[in-house]
Amino acid sequence: MDNLKEIRWKQRFENFEKTYKLLKKYSSQSISTELEKAGMIQFFEMAFELAWKVLKDYLNEIYPLPYFFDIINYNSITNENLKKHIDIEGEIIYTK
């Protein structure tokens, strides 16, 4: 099972790297059409999604704990009970 996790982590990182490189490459060019704008937004969303998944996999791999890390955007949570639970039990490991 560990080998499977390692393969998944590497694949996610490779996908993130490809997406990030494309985002970086095309972000310096001017956007002239709605299609190009939609494509840039898609690159950004894919890079963002893959970045937090890679980070989550990495943290769960290097810290062998009896529980898993879950990385979320606290402000996007709509369930008030979940917010209360996180306020009481959650640990902040990074803030912007």
- pLDDT per residue over 15-43, tens digit each? 999 988 988 888 888 888 999 889 889 88
Least Cα distance to 53 among 10, 12, 2 occurs for 12
Is pTM beyond 0.75? Reply is: no
Is 21 among the domain residues? yes
Contact residues for 18 (Cβ-Cβ < 8 A; gap 6+): none
Number of domains in the chain: 1
pLDDT in tens, 58-69: 877 777 666 666
- Token pair listed for 65: 């704990």
Is 37 among the domain residues? yes
Is 71 among the domain residues? no
Q: Which domain holds residue 8?
A: 2-66
Is 17 among the domain residues? yes
